[in-house]
Amino acid sequence: MRSVVESKKLKVFNIGTSWFVRPIEDQGLEVYNIDWSPPVKIDKDILSILKKLGRK
Amino acid sequence: MDISEEIEKANRKAFDIMNRGKAVLTDFDFARKVIPGMKENIILHAGPPIDYADMIDPMKAAVQGALMFEGKAENLEEADKLARSGEIEFKPCHEVSSVGPMAGITTASMFVAVVENPEFGNRTFCNLHEGRGKILRFGATGKEVLDRLNWMNENLGPALKEVVKKKPVDLKSIAAEGVQMGDELHQRYRASSLLFLSSISENLLELPNAKEIFKFIADREQFFLNLAMPAMKALADPADGIKYSTIVTRMTRNGVSFGIQVSGMKGKWFTGKAEVPIGLYFTGFSQKDAAGDFGDSAIMETLGLGGLSSAAAPAVTRFVGGSPKDAIHATEQGYKITYGQSKDILLPAMDFQGAPLGIDILKVNETNILPSINTGIAHKKAGIGQIGGGISHPPLKAFNDALREYAEVYGL
């Protein structure tokens, strides 16, 4: 299969799901993965408890 | 120490207990002889507590079949009447150190496996594996089902008792090796079932009925399921009841509700609606035919196996739907909601990291990531049996409610 990335000098930043990292790595490129996901919707009372525990 | 430090200390303790424990198969015997408090009028079921009238059809049918097996009813109608009469006491398997796959129905006269955790001195129990197709645990109740159960009681159980009395079997080691060989230990048990058979073969082959016992086990690729489940429960139970701990010690479902328990709030169930699993269905069936998720087998995920160790078993992804990348993703998600990694169960596809271990309700609540559970899918009508395999999740509500209760209990 022809590589979708022609230049070996590319450096890739992947934001979010790590699924996309491996195929790029498989093509010999350097990938920086930033573990990010959209903010989670949390009920107010749950958020309040988590805050009391210093977790949010 | 402030509460965050107390929680960290307690969770470290719960995690270490789960990690350090051992699970050794030491005996097989009648449930009434070994399960604490087991009586003739008690029927154990999978999942959190549920009344007979509220059970899904396959579980009700399994109760009826079990009453016929016990000789307490001549037919399904009589059994149904007896089950509704108030003379039978229904209890979750989990509340008497036991587990049971799918319906989980266990009665006094059934042979059960006895597993010991010598590190902590506790014992756990599970009924014997029937196989696939028309079987009691999916709510089948015909003559062939009852004949098989009787054969298992008269032949399989006593034979296995003799064999493991001579040489107990280290189930945790088999689980660890099975994971190295492509099992994730919920949907796929091919390697570990064969490893178990190999481990008992020397003593098994000395028995006069060795051939039929050997064939029965060899023909059942999930035979290890009913041994791995009490093994994982044996590892989990000593981690229960640790003050301040937010680690989950039980996850189970009865087809109507999914329940969890948390170490620092011993004995309290937190429940929500049981999902209908999403997955691949056998020809002729679809999701509309499926029962709500049921069985105590989520004890495997509670200890980081099954869905949380999906990366170990790329072959399973073809059965439950998805790809090997999905399997790795499920395990990565597992790491985000667990305290640490198993020191013994290592995942080759994750660069030999340990299986995610110690689901933490705080992490689930702050990420909304739910543990992925690999499961069989049963038909909602009794007796048809398995119609597919797939993935389900616990309800977020159970984790939300657990945290709310935790805040009450510990004065947050």
Residue B338 has pLDDT above 60, yes or no: yes
Asked if CATH classification 3.40.50.300 holds for the domain at B22-231, the reply, yes or no, is: no
* pLDDT at site B318: 75
Say which residue the tokens 């507590």 belong to.
B49
Is A39 within 8 Å of chain B by CB? no
Residue A7 has pLDDT above 70, yes or no: no
Residue B225 has pLDDT above 80, yes or no: yes
Cβ–Cβ gap B368/A52 under 8 Å: no
pLDDT, tens only, B49-106: 999 999 999 999 999 999 999 999 999 999 999 999 999 999 999 999 999 999 999 9
Nearest to A49 among B4, B332, B403 (CB): B403
B37 vs B326, more confident: B37
Contact criterion met (CB below 8 Å) for B34 and B40: no
Is B3 within 8 Å of chain A by CB? yes
Contact criterion met (CB below 8 Å) for B201 and B214: yes
Confidence of residue A37 (pLDDT cuts 50, 70, 90): confident
Which of the residue ranges A18-32, B22-36, B317-331 has the most confident prediction, judged by mean pLDDT?
B22-36
For residue A53, what is the nearest residue in chain B, using CA coordinates? B4
Which residues, in sequence order, are bridge partners of residue B25? B115, B169
Residue A3 has pLDDT above 60, yes or no: no
% of chain B with per-residue pLDDT over 90: 91
Task: Tell me the nearest-neighbour CA distance from B275 into chain A, angstroms.
Answer: 21
% of chain B with per-residue pLDDT over 70: 100
Residue A16 vs residues A39, B191, B291, B371: alpha-carbon distances, Å: 12, 35, 34, 19
Domains B22-231 and B241-407 share a fold: no
Residue B337 has pLDDT above 70, yes or no: yes
Residue B310 has pLDDT above 80, yes or no: yes
* pLDDT at site B346: 98
Confidence of residue B19 (pLDDT cuts 50, 70, 90): very high
Confidence of residue A6 (pLDDT cuts 50, 70, 90): low
Q: Which residues of A touch B404 (CB under 8 A)?
A: 45-46, 49
- Among candidate residues B209, B94, B118, B119, the one with its CA nearest the CA of residue B161: B209
Residue B316 has pLDDT above 90, yes or no: no
Residue B62 vs residues B146, B381, B392: alpha-carbon distances, Å: 11, 12, 22
Residue numbers of B between 386 and 405 with CB closer than 8 Å to A: 400, 403-404
Burial class (CB in 10 A: 0-12, 13-18, 19+), B2: exposed
Nearest to A40 among B3, B332, B368 (CB): B368
Residue A43 has pLDDT above 90, yes or no: yes
Residue extents of the structural domains in chain B: 22-231, 241-407
- Among candidate residues B109, B112, B104, B35, the one with its CA nearest the CA of residue B63: B104
ipTM attached to this prediction: 0.90
For residue B369, what is the nearest residue in chain A, using CA coordinates? A40
Residue A5 has pLDDT above 60, yes or no: no
Walk across the sheet containing B373-378 and list its strands.
B278-281, B386-392, B373-378
Calculate the dihedral angle through the C-alpha atoms of B1, B7, B8, B12, rounding to the nearest 10 degrees.
120
Percent helix, strand, coil in chain A, to 5, is: 30, 20, 50
Is B367 within 8 Å of chain A by CB? yes
Q: Which residues of B touch A49 (CB under 8 A)?
A: 365, 403-404, 406-407, 412
Fold of the domain built from segment(s) B241-407: v583 fold (3.90.1700)
Radius of gyration of chain A (CA): 18
* pLDDT at site B295: 97
Radius of gyration of chain B (CA): 20
* pLDDT at site A38: 79
Which residues, in sequence order, are bridge partners of residue B257? B273
Q: A37 Cβ partners below 8 Å, 6+ apart? A: A16, A17
DSSP label at residue B106: B
Confidence of residue A39 (pLDDT cuts 50, 70, 90): confident
How far apart are alpha carbons B195 and B147 in whole angstroms?
28
Judged by DSSP in three states, B261 sits in strand
Burial class (CB in 10 A: 0-12, 13-18, 19+), B357: buried
Confidence of residue A11 (pLDDT cuts 50, 70, 90): confident
* pLDDT at site A2: 54
Calculate the dihedral angle through the C-alpha atoms of B90, B96, B97, B102, rounding to the nearest 10 degrees.
0
Average pLDDT, chain B: 96
Report the predicted TM-score, pTM, of the whole model to 2 decimal places: 0.93
Phi-psi region of B91 (alpha: psi -120 to 50; beta: other; left: phi over 0): beta
Residue A4 has pLDDT above 60, yes or no: no
Residue B142 has pLDDT above 80, yes or no: yes
Residue extents of the structural domains in chain A: 11-52
How far apart are alpha carbons B385 and B144 in whole angstroms?
14
Task: Tell me the nearest-neighbour CA distance from B341 into chain A, angstroms.
Answer: 19
Residue B185 vs residues B30, B95, B233, B281: alpha-carbon distances, Å: 26, 23, 14, 20
Query: What phi and psi, each to the nearest 5 degrees, are found at residue B382?
Result: -65, 145
